[in-house]
Structure 1
Amino acid sequence: MLFAVFAPLIIAFIIPFLSKYKEKIHTGYFVLLVPLAIFIYFIKFVGTDFTPVLQQISWIPSLDINVSLYLDGLSLLFVLLISGIGALVVLYSIFYLHKSEKLGHFYVYLLMFMAAMLGVVLSDNIFVLYTFWELTSISSFLLIGYWDHRERSRYGAMKSMIITVFGGLSLLGGFILLSVVTGSNSIQAMISQVDVIISSPLFPLIAVFIFLGAFTKSAQFPFHIWLPDAMEAPTPVSAYLHSATMVKAGIYLIARFSLILAASEWFFVVVSGFGIITLCWGSYMAVRQTDLKGILAFSTISQLGMIMTMLGFGTKAAVFAAVFHILNHATFKGSLFMVAGIIDHETGSRDIRKLGGLMTLMPISATLALFGTFSMAGVPLPFLNGFYSKELFFDTAIHLPDTSLAAAEILQQVIPYLAVLGSIFTFVYSMYLLFGTFTGKQQLDQLPKKPHEAPFGMLVAPAILIAGVIVIGVIPNLFNETLLAHATSAITGQEIDKHISFWYGFEYPPLYMSLAVVGIGFLLYWFKKYWTRIYTVFPGKASLNDIYDGLLVRVETYSEKITNGYMNGSLRRYVALIVSTMTVVTLLFLFFTNGFTYTTDDLAPISIGQVLIGLMMAIAAIGTIFANNKIAAILILGVVGYGLAILFVMYSAPDLALTQLVVETISVALFLLCFYHLPALRKRTEGIGYKTTNWMISISFGALMTLIAISAHSSKWFDSISTYFLEQSYKLGGGDNVVNVILVDMRGLDTLFEITVLGIASLAIFGLIRLRDKGAK
């Protein structure tokens, strides 16, 4: 499993070299082997006798952070979707993206995202999961902004980054609190401590943080606004990220932690409440769109809301229905995104107002779209998988468990009606998408290109997905027993024996709910032009995007004003602000932690010679302020450094003394070498306020350093580590000089990197000098 997760990252390093040969062979053919191999590897786990598998690699054991990969039914479902649809997306992209595109960039980003998603769904360690979680945000940012020459692509990429990273940081807070409460970083270990987590006063905060992480990633209301703008990405990206994988990461998160979070009655209210609102709002707004990918974007939002709602129900039947719809949605939505890309590729437009009558010109694409849209709409046909999971959604919506929470009781009453309402608009936008594109009057003069059917290679991937729609619809129980049941058990912690059937009889209430959806939905679609004026009233001019843009503008405006307020080019101001902040923050910390303590225990005796050297250093330091000659100021300043070296010698620290002597000598030499460039010393003419501020900052910072030194000696918060070094320096480093052993052996890598940094800085300075010399010539 470890190789499967990191294989995409390894191949990503090779892609830039392979892309050099893209004129001879499309880079996608090399990339295609990666997800295909991963899919083949994991397909062997599918079966009725599947048992979870755990693989662990030590990484940072001292922090309990290890690469723990846990494969159960839930992660297996997602891994197969990530790798299987990933392979189809790569195949599709070979024919969608021309060789003149930056293919190396595209496939590196795609492989990064694939590895990140695999890491998210397989990680058992919460901090490893978080690392991959943030990598999905970074890689999706790069993919959405792939066409970086387009302003809308940059805007969409930044918007998705801001919202999902905000959720990611919230998720990190929840994970840290979970780790503190349970004393473990393993998800499976946390699940075994549900009682401890629920009884903790931190539980409400943990739940809020995890919900924020999940809702932002899975585009739940009101965080859904990033998804429509992300449609500026190339269609293969939309088909992969925004239908089958990334947007389902939040769904996965809720499913994975439901055994913990669902122990609270508020889990149903929050998850199903936001889910049902997202379902209704997304489906309602999809009808308003005119861009094919815009319709599919809001469609995705509504479908994600439907899945989230079912997970919030918490019953075994509802969780099973949610898992089933995750699979179904990936098949029909992935194919529809690809068909939308085909239409855009072959006509030059995605504007549904300019399309129409394409069925005779693109019959294969029209057939694929028909199966995809009918499945998405939940049309009651036995060979369409979407109908089965939608029926289960209705069934679970009217069979919710009893609750003592008033808010939950109210929600239980309205959810069945909202489920039907959202499904009605789902039917409307599905018919709008299909018939608005492929039937009606042709408007060839409105299209940049003359429409024609796509090449065979571009049709293969959506055709395979539509074949999946039909196969799942015809034999759903084949997938139930070998895959869906295991995923459901992983979420609920209980075995489930669910038989999927197309017909449950006339006494089955969801049947009439489905008929109402089809009937009312058909009427709304047929008379669409008469009632869509409602959008001018609701939502009208109100828009969450306007709120987002307004907040962003205000943040940028005020941050610019604040930054310009202190970044005025004055080095004095910069130093004053830095020193003042350090002084205030440190003094406050000392105050609140009782750091103002003073003890004279264990102090070394002070001789007259040491006192005289200290006075000499103080007089020299003060003398630099009044020096009017550059050489005199530098020599006086050198007295301070050399005096400190003498004190080190007197306190039996020859290594420190030698280091101080070397540093001080180099500093004085550098000052002398830089004489030519140093400004001439002059009499200060600043006002009394200016000088007073300087005195206050200087005295405060000096007093702070004194207090820190006294506090460090007087406040013993921890056992001294010096005993460890004294005992272990010879055993570990083979030396009696403890300081040398620490620097060379115990901190060897740190010292090596410090030397490396100095070397790089030296090379940079040398390069700048050479550039200056060339410029002078």
Structure 2
Amino acid sequence: MTGLHMTILIPILFTMLVPFLYKKFTPRIHTGWFVLFVPMGLFIYLFSFIPEISNGNTILSTITWIPSYGIDFTTYIDGLSLMFGLIIVGIGTLVVFYSIYYMSKYREALHNFYIYLLLFMGAMLGVVFSDNIVVLYVFWEMTSISSFLLIAYWYEREGSRNGARKSMLITIFGGLAMLAGFIMLSMMADTYSIREMFRNVDVVKSHPLFIPAMMLVLLGVFTKSAQFPFSIWLPDAMEAPTPISAYLHSATMVKAGIYLVARFTPIFGGTAEWFWIVSGIGVVTLLYGSVNAVRQTDLKALLAYSTISQLGLIMSLLGLGSAALLFGIGDESTVYTVSIFAAIFHLVNHSTFKGCLFMVVGIIDHETGTRDIRRLGGLMHLMPISFTLTAIGSFAMAGLPPFNGFLSKEMFFTAVKNASNMSVFNMENFGLLFPVIAWVASVFTFIYCMILLLKTFRGKNKPENLDKVVHEAPIGMLISPIILASLVIIIFFFPNVLAQFLLKPALYGILPSLAATGGLEVKISAWHGWNLELFMTIGVVVVGTLLYVYLKKWYRFYHFYPEALTINNFYNLGLEKMEKYSRFITNQYMTGFIRDYLVYIFAFITLTIGGTLWLFGGATFDASNDAPVSIIEVVLITLMIVASLTVLFSNSRLTSIIAVGALGFFVSFVFVLFRAPDLALTQLVVETVTTALFLLCFYHLPKLRKEMNRVRFKAVNAVVSIGIGVTVTLVALSANGTRLFDPISSYYENSYELAGAKNIVNAILVDFRGIDTMLEILVLSIAGLGVYSLIKLRIDRGNENEGAE
């Protein structure tokens, strides 16, 4: 097993040690100190790959898993996967360190917290490093399950349970759709390897399943990355502890869908469907998230909607940049390649400033006891370090200099400006929408950034609204956001170092053909002169400032939108209706009446098996070589039919029992005719005993209900009984008439030589299938003991009650 495989498995394997460490050292040592070394060590290990990957190399390692199906545990590291891997373990290290001071070692179940966190970390590493789409899907669903556990960590809270359930339902639904898309992809490309699919792009794009596979994969992507209209799960997930929010919803889980879009761009990119769906949903999500963030009064909810907005921005850039695949290598392709470069640059920037902001909001909640903006204010002098960190993160998110968000936001404006000039995909008609929506969304982004900063830290302090005496957080809790805030500024002043060693290799991972031709020379600069992008930024600041100042005057417009038309309301209504109709359907068949259960079971068998035989002509058999039917057999069959009809239409239980017994005796006569005296004897004994037991038991039952004597009731019984009888008979005749292989019965004909038995049936039961018979006897013995224990228990209780009286 190679180092890359262990990179994925170490966090998962370490979860087995966490309970022992928690039990052994808590509360003397916080469990997080032991866990911290896992992401830290992985970060150092992955960081060592930067020189090799930045030189254009890739690393591949394979472990055979299911070779008969071509499923191998193949890890593949290139610039794209390395960038995501460093974000996962880098932010993970800071989050674990932050949680040591945030999560109380006295009041929290830390072993559960870190088990879930490490499972999620390993699953995310598995997603970004897996080359086999089946293995990738396994880790993809692991992220959904582990995030469900993390969101529901405080399971005693109703909000946590609801948020976890919502995230699970939406992301698992998308994941199942994505699985179907992966299966289609593997069928089209005849491989499970993503690298091999790149080599068969022309075959995949010409296949009729190309569009359905694309739609299904995008459904999984959009649900995981909280794209409109599936973004409703992300704000509810904020019920999780802040370290979880900072990790899952700013740097890792929501970026999984972004990774998948980037990874599959060489396959699906360059088509009008991919371009419009990815970029269109992206800009709509960008606008939806930014507009809704302004109306939030909870700091984490505001950050949740801002995350939705920023994810939409990155998604739209990837969609716009996919047009580069249309033009091959050249100047026109380079124009659109900038969009993809801006996407990965902003992805890194977003991880830094949003992780910082989430941690600071956690500090505010920790030190003041609330996240409600209406109760906060005037914290700048009480929490100066937190104020500085919030200012850095907010200005970066708003796209202001000197912070890294300004650089990637300028690139975003360049990308949407280029989109308006596109001559493909009917962009001449709709291209202007992209810069307009981008600019409007950026204005709202500026507004909610100012709300986050100024309404929390500026204004009058309101100690009467707080449950705690406010003071700055301990230094240990501040270190992680300080590191992230420092990166925000460092990246602004030294962006080309990041571009050279991390961003360009990631770009080549998305566009492999670009690296094959010598690469692309990209130089990030904060100043490009007085161009349109700069004027768009100035306009954002001016208009955003005016709208923030007059926020109270236009904020009331939010109240005009009817609550009944919100996506959340449709989701809740859908759940309510599904539960209602599910309960109705369940009540129809869960009647407590065995007869109803048998009707459903036999009717289902008749429709599925019988219908299949009828539709596909499977009920074929040749009776020409069968033995002739004698008059005695005709008489016996007629008597059996009469006995069966008597059971169906009798109004007396006694008559029905006698008819069932008679039917069994007629079957024993059939065995006699076919010269099977042992079977006939067994049938006679069993039928006699069961008939006697039926008479004994049914004597104590109440009289038949009236509906049992109705014609409809008995007609249903007759139809189902005849249907299942005919189906089983046709299956038996068809199986006997369609022999693909030699019958196994010929083997048992040598029972005397093989087992020294003159009776084939006895030899099969005792010798050839002796283990089966022994286990059947064991089951019957256990059931008999259970019945005896229940009867004995009832008798003992009856005696106790009599003694008490």
For the criterion TM > 0.5, the same-fold answer is yes
- Which residue number corresponds to residue 384 of structure 2? 363
1:370-769 map, 5 Å: 370-381=391-402, 384-400=403-419, 402-406=422-426, 408-493=427-512, 494-495=514-515, 496-538=519-561, 542-600=565-623, 622=644, 625=647, 628=654, 680=700, 686-714=709-737, 720=740
1:701-731 superposed Cα distances (whole Å, 9 cap, x missing partner)? 0001112223334568xxx46699999xxxx
Aligned residues: 753
Distance in 2 (CA, whole Å) between partners of 1:256 and 1:519 is: 38
From 252, 255, 280, give the equivalent of 1:248: 255
The 3 A distance-change label for structure 1 pair 623 and 412 is closer
Structure 1 residue 628: deviation in Å? 4.0
Q: CA deviation at 1:565?
A: 2.3
RMSD (Å) for aligned C-alpha atoms: 4.1
CA contact (8 A) 2:658 2:691 kept: no
Deviates more, 1:23-32 or 1:316-325: 23-32
Cα displacement (A) at 1:51: 1.7
Paired residue for 2:230? 223
Judge conservation of contact 1:173–1:209 (CA < 8 Å) in 2: yes
Contact 2:152 2:163 in 1 (8 A): yes
TM-score, L = length of structure 2: 0.84
Distance 1:12 1:641 in 2: 62
Structure 1: state its 5+ residue gaps: 652-656, 728-733
Aligned-pair distance for 1:448?
Answer: 1.2
Partner of 1:731: none
* Aligned with residue 106 of structure 1, among 113, 127, 131: 113
CA-CA distance at 1:380 after TM superposition? 2.1
| 1:70 and 2:76 correspond | yes
| CA contact 1:613–1:643 (8 Å) conserved in 2 | no
Task: Give the fraction of aligned pairs with identical amino acids, expressed as a percent.
Answer: 45
* Distance (whole Å) between structure 2 residues aligned to residue 40 and residue 763 of structure 1: 63
Which among 161, 165, 176 is matched to residue 158 of structure 1? 165
Indicate conservation of the 8 Å contact 1:628/1:683, yes or no: no
Question: Corresponding residue for 1:339?
Answer: 360
1:54 pairs, out of 60, 63, 66, with 60
Cα contact 2:224–2:257 (8 A) shared by 1 = yes
Shift, 1:227, TM fit: 0.8
CA distance in 2, matches of 1:241, 1:662: 66
Equivalent position amino acid for 2:498 in 1: F
Q: Would the aligned equivalents of 1:642 and 1:664 in 2 still touch at CA under 8 Å?
A: yes
SS in 2 for 1:353: helix
The answer to whether the 8 A contact 1:215-1:223 is kept is: yes
Residue 15 of structure 2: which of 12, 17, 21 is its match?
A: 12
Instruction: Work out the CA distance in 2 between the residues paired with 1:63 and 1:249.
Output: 26
Go from structure 1 to structure 2 and tell me whether the alpha carbon gap of 1:614 and 1:521 turns closer, same or farther (over 3 Å shift): farther
Paired with 2:493 and 2:575, the residues of 1 have a C-alpha distance of 49
Aligned in 2, Cα 1:42/1:293: closer, same or farther, shift over 3 Å? same
Q: 1:176 to 1:612 in 2, by over 3 A?
A: same
User: Residue by residue, what CA displacement relative to the aligned partner does 1:721-758 show, whole Å, maximum 9, x if unpaired?
Assistant: 6699999xxxxxx99x9x9xx99xxx99x999x99996
Q: What does residue range 274-285 of structure 1 map to in structure 2 within 5 Å?
A: 274-285=281-292
SS of aligned partner of 2:709 = coil
Query: Which 10-residue stretch deviates more, 492-501 or 556-565?
Result: 492-501
Measure the CA separation in 2 of the matches of 1:76 and 1:648. Answer: 74
SS in 1 for 2:16: helix
2:646 and 2:656 in contact (8 A); partners too: no
Secondary structure at 1:398's aligned position in 2? helix
Q: Work out which of the two has the higher radius of gyration on C-alpha atoms and give 1 or 2.
A: 2
TM-score using structure 1 length: 0.87
Deviation at 1:621, TM superposition (A): 8.2
Once residues 297 and 429 of structure 2 are traced to their aligned partners in structure 1, the CA distance between those partners, rounded to angstroms, is 36
SS of equivalent residue, structure 1 residue 59: strand
In structure 2, the partner of 1:36 is: 40
Match of 1:317 in 2: 338
Question: What's the counterpart of residue 25 of structure 1?
Answer: 29
1:191 aligns with 2:168: no
Give the deviation of 1:167 after TM superposition.
Answer: 1.0
Using a 3 Å threshold, how does the CA distance of structure 1 residues 175 and 678 change in structure 2: closer, same or farther? farther
Unaligned 5+ segments in structure 2 are 323-335, 748-753, 801-805
Relative distance call for 1:290 and 1:616 in structure 2 (3 A) is same
221-230 vs 183-192, greater mean Cα deviation: 183-192
Q: Contact conserved, 1:269 with 1:411, CA < 8 A, in 2?
A: no
Shift of 1:277: 0.9
- State the distance in 2 between where 1:396 and 1:202 align: 31
The CA deviation string for residues 284-308 of structure 1, in whole angstroms up to 9 with x for no partner, is 1111111000110010000000000
Give how far 1:25 is off: 1.8
Secondary structure of the residue aligned to 2:467 is: coil
Offset, 1:18: 2.6
- Whether the aligned pair in 1 keeps the contact of 2:643 and 2:659 (CA below 8 Å) is no
| Greater Cα shift, 587-596 or 176-185 | 587-596
Corresponding residue SS for 2:94:
helix
Distance 1:523 1:575, change over 3 A: same
1:642 deviates by 8.1
Q: Which residue of 2 aligns with 1:730?
A: none
